[in-house]
Structure 1
Amino acid sequence: MSSILPFQPDHDMIATGSYDYSHRLAERIGQFIIDADTNSPRSQQRAIGPSEVGEPCERQLSYKILDWPETNTNRDPIAAIIGTGFHLWIGEKFEERNTALGGTRYKIEDRVTVRDSPIETARLSGSADLFDRLLAANLDWKLVGQSSLDKYRRQGPGEKYRIQAHLYGLGQENAGESVTRVVIVFIARYHELRVHVWSEPYDRTIALDALARLDRIRQQVLDLDPESHPERWHQIPTPEKPTCRFCPWLKPGSTDLSAGCPGAQNTNAGASLEALIA
């Protein structure tokens, strides 16, 4: 989140007590939103999901594999909440479309198994946003900021989103569907409707390679055992250009990786409640 100047009340508001009332109410509403998001099933998910497998930072994935205590707990939840609301809304609209068509052309928010395994930590499943049987394509909705949409339009979705798309393609294939394409639909959180679609042919090997990488990282964590040897956290690599801002284990200035990762320099941590209600 960018820096936001604190709210500056005028003298009349202070004199009448309106500011005190409004500010306290804003604090309570802000805290309610944060608490509700923290206790949501999405926020409490402990197992790695398809959206995380392609994370380029091996250290972040290692923290996740070990279910390490999070340090960057003041992350602003509003973008994810808006995204959840949109997913619910568009899911209802495609359900209505199915009813109008008198069939099940669209599979909506369907739980798919990307990989099953007798080893619990090796299993991978997730909820696929939309599968269009007529197009034989899996669609994933992404609500993003306007600048991010422009970036994805110019540069493509990046490997993390691309891998997620093919993992869901594999999940649909495992469910018995014929999959020919994977699609990511970027929709800007903006006062004008702006949509960008990225798509490519489904490739099972992209998904399998990503799973093999995840298995390698998991084995690396077991071999290094940073729980017993915290100094070995330094042996788990980070990418050349990490994106640390929203990492749950970001702790700027940290010199002890078992207590949190300092991340890249000049990285802004999550917003505090004071910023959220400013």
Structure 2
Amino acid sequence: MTDQAAFLDLEGLPAVELLADLKEVILHAYHTTPRHMQVEIGPSEYGQECARKLAFQLMQAPGVPKGDPLPSIVGTATHTWLQAAIEKWNAHIGRVRYIPEARVTAHPGPGGTGSCDVFDFDTGTVIDWKLPGTTRFSYYKRKGPSTQYRVQAHTYGRGYANLGFDVKRVAICFLPRGGMLSNAHLWSEPYDPQIPVTAERRMNSIVEICDELRLDQHPDRFRMIAPTPGDDCTFCPWFHPNPTTYNQCEGNAKS
């Protein structure tokens, strides 16, 4: 047997062991990627409706171990690919029509700084990529984005406006994670600077509540902040159907 054949010969190595090893490789990379190690609140989180979840994140409360990370991995990899595609298109047309992923700041403090996926000079549009699963994609196509996504888009708009850009619109390009590019959907609306201002005030009020409750010294008081149960509760880092500690929340499990 040649050296190459010997290297590729997996006979005798149980498939279950090899699969476990491969999963370990993937999970290690996932858990050590800066994007997944982020603990500070960014524009993608602070527009979401649950005040308790925001308090957990503000105080960096330890989360509950979650399930499969593959959708997130696919999303991150796709964002990287799309950033390269934007840069390649600019080179192809000989000018910078689109600014690829860039850090912008809407305001100081939690939720104010993040990475905006795209800015289009030709239309003055801030664009965010989203890769939802089949059910969510259908919902967003029918009903439009969630409040969280909408606030995120306008926050990026404010960030670019602060840099002196003429921001006219915000948009979210939904790419179906389990579908075809031909089914992609673009949601867009005029940029409204009041939306991120309102979200900032709400975030500041939650910061004040966390301080008044002294959650760093009395984590049991997290339960004094009312949650807002929703369809995404099971994906929350602090969700648990039967809470036993301060950093667990039943969300919509009992609704």
Q: TM-score, normalised by structure 2?
A: 0.90
Does residue 100 (structure 1) correspond to residue 92 (structure 2)? The answer is yes
Aligned amino acid, residue 140 of structure 2: Y
Deviations 1:99-134 (A, max 9, x none): 122222210001111213xxxx44721111010001
Aligned equivalents of 1:231 and 1:97: distance in 2? Answer: 52
Aligned amino acid, residue 51 of structure 1: S
In the TM superposition, 1:113-132 aligns within 5 A as 113-116=105-108, 121-122=109-110, 124-132=112-120
Does residue 40 (structure 1) correspond to residue 29 (structure 2)? The answer is no
Q: CA deviation at 1:92?
A: 1.2
Counterpart residue number, 2:240: 251
Does residue 155 (structure 1) correspond to residue 118 (structure 2)? The answer is no
Counterpart residue number, 1:275: none
Aligned amino acid, residue 114 of structure 2: G
Aligned equivalents of 2:18 and 2:158: distance in 1? Answer: 47
Aligned equivalents of 1:125 and 1:146: distance in 2? Answer: 30
Residues 242 and 263 in structure 1, CA contact (< 8 A), matched pair in contact too: no
Counterpart residue number, 1:4: none
Alignment counterpart, residue 152 of structure 2, candidates 164, 170, 177 = 164
Q: Secondary structure at the match of 2:251?
A: coil
Aligned amino acid, residue 24 of structure 2: Q
Residues 101 and 115 in structure 2, CA contact (< 8 A), matched pair in contact too: yes
More deviation in 129-138 or 231-240? Answer: 231-240
Aligned equivalents of 1:241 and 1:142: distance in 2? Answer: 19
Aligned equivalents of 1:266 and 1:89: distance in 2? Answer: 40
Aligned equivalents of 1:112 and 1:208: distance in 2? Answer: 15
Gaps of 5+ in 2: 1-9
Q: CA deviation at 1:86?
A: 1.2
Aligned amino acid, residue 126 of structure 1: G
Q: Secondary structure at the match of 1:152?
A: helix
Aligned equivalents of 1:113 and 1:192: distance in 2? Answer: 33
User: Between Structure 1 and Structure 2, how many residues are aligned?
Assistant: 245
In the TM superposition, 1:22-41 aligns within 5 A as 22-41=15-34
Aligned equivalents of 2:111 and 2:199: distance in 1? Answer: 13
More deviation in 247-256 or 42-51? Answer: 247-256
Aligned equivalents of 2:231 and 2:213: distance in 1? Answer: 22
Q: CA deviation at 1:266?
A: 6.8
Does residue 178 (structure 1) correspond to residue 171 (structure 2)? The answer is no
Counterpart residue number, 1:85: 77
Aligned amino acid, residue 160 of structure 1: Q
Residues 113 and 124 in structure 1, CA contact (< 8 A), matched pair in contact too: yes
Aligned equivalents of 1:122 and 1:263: distance in 2? Answer: 23
Aligned equivalents of 1:19 and 1:52: distance in 2? Answer: 47
More deviation in 36-45 or 234-243? Answer: 234-243
Residues 45 and 111 in structure 2, CA contact (< 8 A), matched pair in contact too: no
Q: CA deviation at 1:20?
A: 6.4
Does residue 69 (structure 1) correspond to residue 62 (structure 2)? The answer is yes
Aligned equivalents of 2:148 and 2:111: distance in 1? Answer: 19
Aligned equivalents of 2:177 and 2:12: distance in 1? Answer: 30
Aligned equivalents of 1:53 and 1:230: distance in 2? Answer: 21
Does residue 111 (structure 1) correspond to residue 96 (structure 2)? The answer is no
The CA RMSD over aligned residues, in Å, is: 2.0
Q: Secondary structure at the match of 1:265?
A: helix
Q: CA deviation at 1:263?
A: 2.4
Aligned amino acid, residue 229 of structure 1: H
Aligned equivalents of 1:19 and 1:32: distance in 2? Answer: 21
Q: Secondary structure at the match of 1:188?
A: coil
Alignment counterpart, residue 14 of structure 2, candidates 18, 21, 29 = 21
Gaps of 5+ in 1: 1-16, 268-278
Higher relative CO (CA 8 A, sep ≥ 6), structure 1 or 2? 1
Q: Secondary structure at the match of 1:111?
A: strand
